[in-house]
A and B are shown apart, each in its own frame.
Chain A
Amino acid sequence: MSGVLVVMEQRAGRLARINWEALAAAHRLGAPAAVTAVIAGAQTEAPAAEIAAKGPGKVLRVEHPLLAPYTADGFSIALEQVIRAEQPEYVVFPHTYQVRDYAAALAARFGQVLIGDVVSIGDGPRFTRQLMQGRLNGNYRHSGSSPCFVSVQAGAFPAELSNSGPAEIASFTPSLDAAQIRTRPGEPFRAAAQAVDLGSAQMIVGVGRGIKDQANIALVQELAAALGAELAASRPICDAGWLPMERQVGSSGQTVAPKLYLAAGISGAIQHLVGMKGSQCIVAINKDPDAPIFEVADYGIVGDLMQVVPALTEAVKAAKQ
């Protein structure tokens, strides 16, 4: 058993950045020549060409009409056949929702587990993943026979661009029967368009009394729009009618836990804190350096909202270009 298989994932023909990161991770486990990138689906020609340009040793197109839409059965059966044919030492996945759905089942077929959501690979190889919700790191070692199944966390392995020539593209047609696919997935959809859905927003900009005037809310709205974030408010803003009640975050409003919560002009009174403390990253802008909000913030700017907010909007827009 030798070599590294990297299982790529396409969504509507597009390949996300995490795929290149998985490729970079694979290079820690084997020389580029020993790395085979696998792309599965009903249409794999275009993505395969894109992958070939990124420098794996070989690209393997696993194509079958029953592989679209994605199903756990389809992918497990097809990839099991690929792995038995290719006999790799390692199988590397990007840690996506899709991979979380089938990779462990696939590994179990080989009497293996998935060492999942790895943030670094050290000598040994030693696989590091996060425990206790990020408060601890754990180092894992694989024992027993091959293959070793690993998935990598988004953003953990910087994607490297290769400058070697395009790789060889091969094909593998798995043997799949419609009766083997036991689940029937429907078309993806977005949640019914609600007026305000703070609960599922990835980023939220919260505005508080520091904004001083209703007219200034427009400034914060521009920042939210630039970020692609939802607008929320502390209670006094909603009480004053400057923003509707549905945008209230706090003990008597909604509790949110987005990836980013930017608190503009919010002091950090407990009623508001309990509503957003669970946010993954908190940024606070306030002119009072002693405002309690800074105790819970990951990043803080002490300054005048009227200056900082527009500056931030500009900087965000520039970064997104």
Chain B
Amino acid sequence: MTLLFPTLAEPQQFSVAERLLFAGLAVASAYAFWRRFGVVLDKILKSKKDASFHLFPIGKRVRDFVWEVVFQAKVIRQRPAAGLAHAFVFWAFCAFVLVTLNHCAGALGFGFLDPAGTIGRFYFWFAAAFALACAVGILGLFVRRFFIRPKWLGEKLSWESGVIALLIFVLMATFLASFFVNGAGTAVRILWWVHTLALLTFLPIVPHTKHLHLLLSPFTVFLSRGSFSQIPPLSGDEDFGLVAGTDLTRLVSLQAYSCVECGRCTEHCPAANTGKLLNPKTIVLGLRAYLNDLGPASQEPLLGKYNSQQAAFQCTTCGACEFQCPVGIEHVPILVGLRRGAVNTGAWEDDYGSKLFLALERGSNALGLNPAERDKFIEKQKLPLFDGTQEYCLWLGCMGGYDPKGREIVADFARIMSFLGTSYGVLRKEKCTGDPVRRLGNDLLFQQLAEANLEALAQNKVKKIVTICPHCVRTIQEDWKEYGTPPEIEHHSEFLARYADRLPRVQNQEKIAFHDPCYLGRYRNVYEQPRRVAALAGEVVEAPRNRERSFCCGAGGGLTFLGEETGERVSQVRAAELAATGAQTIAAACPFCNSMFRDALAARGEGAPQLLDIAQLAARGLPRPDAS
């Protein structure tokens, strides 16, 4: 029995010298730990308070904490094998809390878990199971990092990771080995001391390395802003965004120190994947380096030595980074914050950016076109004007109002609404919702646009809005909240899905590859509705990266209004991926995605799949307007 279920052996007695040695080392270790951790904690606490942070409602925080921290859900889901290995390491650490406490207490004569007792036996066996899984896991992770070397972990080999891995392995190995030695004798004592030294070496290393996340990340996950990509309002007259160290808030500093450098953000970043300067991991680590060197009281610009302004303006705000960061870092508000710091102070000098801002300063749309063009479209298409009596206000947006393709989508959607008998109208005048200037960090312009629009909507007595553009949906529903109370709004995919049963199906064996727009999928959690609509016209097939892992088209973050990209075109990479599914049609649900893919597919030449919005697919079955 004892051979199959061995007992943990521990030294029975410690000499005074040993105890003193242990105590001395423990104190030294704790001191070394605090010397660094104290500094980090100080920097975080000395950072600016987050003005708009609310602890309540606390339900979501607790749920996220349990799901992401305790169950390691994000860690496992996005990278199953490595994630599971890490999960075991984490769970082993949790399980080892009592083991370690007992280990140290035992040295001073206060051990409370008896390896021979029932509780002790059970507990140590429990811990041993995890220790085994942990040891195997850490070995696997070591091999992955040092031999397989996936590219998002970076070019340089991380020696600290090696050391940590070794220490963890030693801790587990010594623990497990202790089951197989005699309680009396030197072996057990050696194992005990090796374990102790490993432990006392590990402790002070933690705050000096990315393993700080052991202590910080549970807090980071718990204390997040509360919703995806939430851009905090500016607090007061002197706040222009993340200009210098003094603007870094506690949340941002906490997040900067929590980064484990896993590179999952980099792996999914459209900019990083197409040869741009931007790497979300580098942004976060740049902030950490800034805090380490200069601290939260420094006036030196954040964009300069520690992070590049050029990189900050290559972000499409797709959110793939933030969406699956396992330690709760919120990259998008950080990037928008850095952009705010540059734009609100006029430090960003970019021809295309200035052109966009100047166009919206004077005019009503982001394209700089005469609003009479939109009037002409409404007249030609005979769209009803909103007069306060209709159920829906159909918001055209800049693309729906001025882009020839966007107009086609609006026309088909309007046909469907008429077919369904839904009452709707379009506003006589619209101003751009301000999405591109919001993501680029121009708060002055955004405020002007949001306030003007909110007033116009109130005057027109708009209660419900439906629109074809996910960027409009997001900006109106979330970002305008900062300046008033926006009406209810939904995306046309949500509207159409509700009525999908009433829309005629087209009997077609056509394969349709659906591309999840960032602002509909990750930002709004809408994945099934557009697919239901697309299914009206054929068989929906999935691109390799779909749903929350969808790969951006490249237009977001205001980038569609900026100049040429460096490196590969994001839109071409994604278009290639969608075309490779073998589908005859690519279905889009966002006029910006549509615009980006239009060029990218054209570059692929003859034989490229056709590109249609889900509204156009759904309208296929309707009787043609000119049919008698």
Contact = CB atoms under 8 A, between A and B. Distances in A.
Q: Is chain B a partner of chain A in the same complex?
A: yes
B283 to A, nearest CB: 25
A292 interface: yes
B367 interface: yes
From A251, A270, A295, residue with most partner B Cβ within 10 Å: A270
Given A252-B563, A252-B564, A271 B602 contact: no
A274 B367 contact: yes
Interface in B556-611: 560-564, 595, 598-599, 602-603
A240 interface: yes
Contacts of A197: none
Nearest to B598: A269
B367 A269 contact: no
Contacts of A252: 352, 562-564
A271 B560 CA distance: 10
Given A239-B603, A251-B561, A271 B368 contact: no
A209 B602 contact: yes
Interface size class of B (residues with CB under 8 A): 20 to 34
B404 interface: yes
Contacts of A245: 564
B344 to A, nearest CB: 24
A271 B595 contact: yes
A65 B330 CA distance: 75
Nearest to B596: A271
B494 interface: no
Interface string A226-251: 00000000011001100001000001
B369 A277 contact: yes
A270 B403 contact: yes
B130 interface: no
B599 A268 contact: no
B402 interface: yes
A255 B359 CA distance: 13
Interface string A247-277: 0000111010000000000011111011001
A255 B598 CA distance: 21
Interface in A193-247: 209, 235-236, 239-240, 245
B603 A236 contact: yes
Nearest to B562: A252
Contacts of A267: 404
From B404, B405, B598, residue with most partner A Cβ within 10 Å: B404
Nearest to B561: A251
Given A251-B561, A252-B563, A252-B564, A239 B367 contact: no
Given A269-B405, A270-B403, A239 B564 contact: no
Contacts of A268: 404
From A245, A253, A292, residue with most partner B Cβ within 10 Å: A292
Nearest to A245: B564
A204 B425 CA distance: 41
B599 A236 contact: yes
Contacts of B595: 269-271
Given A274-B367, A292-B404, A235 B599 contact: yes
A49 to B, nearest CB: 50
A124 B275 CA distance: 71
A270 B404 contact: yes
A295 B373 CA distance: 10
Contacts of B403: 269-270
From A209, A239, A274, residue with most partner B Cβ within 10 Å: A274
Interface string A157-185: 00000000000000000000000000000
A235 B598 CA distance: 12
Nearest to A291: B404
A240 B605 CA distance: 10
Nearest to B602: A236
Contacts of A295: 376
A245 B564 CA distance: 10
Nearest to A235: B599
From A235, A252, A253, A295, residue with most partner B Cβ within 10 Å: A252
Contacts of A270: 367, 399, 402-406, 595
16 contacts: A235-B599, A236-B599, A236-B602, A236-B603, A239-B599, A245-B564, A251-B367, A251-B561, A267-B404, A269-B404, A269-B598, A270-B402, A271-B595, A274-B368, A277-B369, A295-B376
Given A253-B564, A270-B595, 6 more contacts: A252-B562, A269-B405, A269-B595, A269-B598, A274-B369, A292-B404
